[in-house]
Amino acid sequence: MTTVDMTPATNKTTPTNPRRRVYRPNTKYIPILATLTLLLVMYFTGVANYDNFGQPSVVVNLFRDNAVLLVVAVGMTFVIITGGIDLSVGAVISMTTTLTATLLHAGWPPLVVLPLVLLLGSLLGMGMGAVIHFFKVEPFIATLAGLFLARGIALFINQNSIPIRDKFWKTLSEYRIVLADGVVTKVTSVTAVVVVLLAALVLAWTRFGRNVYAVGGNADSALLMGLPVGRTKIAVYTLSGFCAALGGVLFSINSTSGWALQGQGLELDAIAACVIGGVLLTGGSGYVFGSLLGVLVYGLIQTIITFQGDLNAAWTRIIIGLLLFGFIVLQRVVTRKAR
């Protein structure tokens, strides 16, 4: 008697686990797409309601007026992706501007002052990163100590505003780059764009960039995989210190002065720009171009208030606060769906 196999045939091309057949869209791009949509809506709303809002100079001025914030936000992006935070960047800006103005006033050559202040900012960042890694100190506490240290150094150097009369510095401040007929920009904005492009390439295409994401995703797993977790953490804080010092240099070029109280609150603006740009505060996800969009949203809010003319500047903070609440909620929703 012949036995008939009643077992249903299995298609080898069909996954045995039905869950694998469920399409799960990649949700990591949702925050940055939301930021881009918000930016476009704001811009075209401004074009529809205000005369001359659509002029190319308006967009160019966004980069010029927010060059310092953009450079600082780049360094903050790397730190936040690793799951950290850097509260010292505003104070590093004040220390850099004060030290730069003091040394230039004393007759030091600009080409000596520039690398010196950048090195000092990097060393401060490296020190904070080392404390965070080797002594297991929370980034909030370590960088808060860095904030007080940098601000204290700035106040110790000089508590008054120091004008910069160095010819090289004034030339940089007054130099204009012609982009088109009637559209000009400054050296500071070009520098900020170059920093963004270089940082985006490093984060996306280098081993260091992959390590940054791995450490932010799960530092313990990254350590088990043999990745240099400690070296990566120290490197991102060194980079943040360098970007903050570079932001201070750009600040001093714009204002041709140094002051110990410059840069107050800029660390919060940088964190806000990163969050609005889709960088997860829990680490492991985010893009430099997202932070760029966050800075542009911040600058566009200020531009719209300026064009309106009858709004208090405090509305900038109010709107940024509301946007932060919205994007933090969006991040929570996205991360829950991803799980």
Q: How confident is the prediction for the chain on average, in pLDDT? A: 90
DSSP state of 20: G
pLDDT of residue 10: 45
In this predicted model, what pLDDT tens digit does every residue of 15-61 receive, in sequence order? Answer: 444 444 333 446 678 889 999 999 999 999 999 999 999 999 999 99
C-beta atoms surrounding 89 within 10 Å: 33
pLDDT of residue 142: 97
With beta carbons less than 8 A apart as the criterion, state whether 286 and 77 touch. yes
Q: Which residues of 289-314 are buried (b: 16+ CB within 10 A; e: fewer)?
A: bbbbbbbbbbbbbbbbbeeeeeeeee
Lowest mean pLDDT among 5-14, 50-59, 184-193, 199-208: 5-14
CA dist., res. 140 & res. 131, Å (int): 12
CA dist., res. 251 & res. 220, Å (int): 39
Question: What's the pLDDT band for 110 if we cut at 50, 70, 90?
Answer: very high
CA dist., res. 113 & res. 102, Å (int): 10
In this predicted model, what pLDDT tens digit does every residue of 233-254 receive, in sequence order? Answer: 999 999 999 999 999 999 999 9
pLDDT at 214 over 90: yes
Lowest mean pLDDT among 44-58, 122-136, 178-192, 319-333: 319-333
Beta bridge partners, 258, equal 162
Q: What is the largest CA-CA distance in the chain?
A: 108
Indicate the burial class of 39 (C-beta count within 10 angstroms; 0-12, 13-18, 19 or more): middle
pLDDT of residue 15: 46
CA dist., res. 261 & res. 303, Å (int): 24
- Per DSSP, helices labelled H in 50-109 are 56-65, 67-81, 89-105
* Residues in CB range of 289: below 8 A, 6 or more apart: 32, 196, 200, 277
Q: What average pLDDT does range 91-108 have in this prediction?
A: 96
Amino acid letter, residue 70: L
pLDDT at 13 over 50: no
To the question of domain 28-43+53-338 being in CATH 1.10.3470, the answer is yes
184 phi, psi to nearest 5 deg: -130, 160
Question: What's the pLDDT band for 339 if we cut at 50, 70, 90?
Answer: low
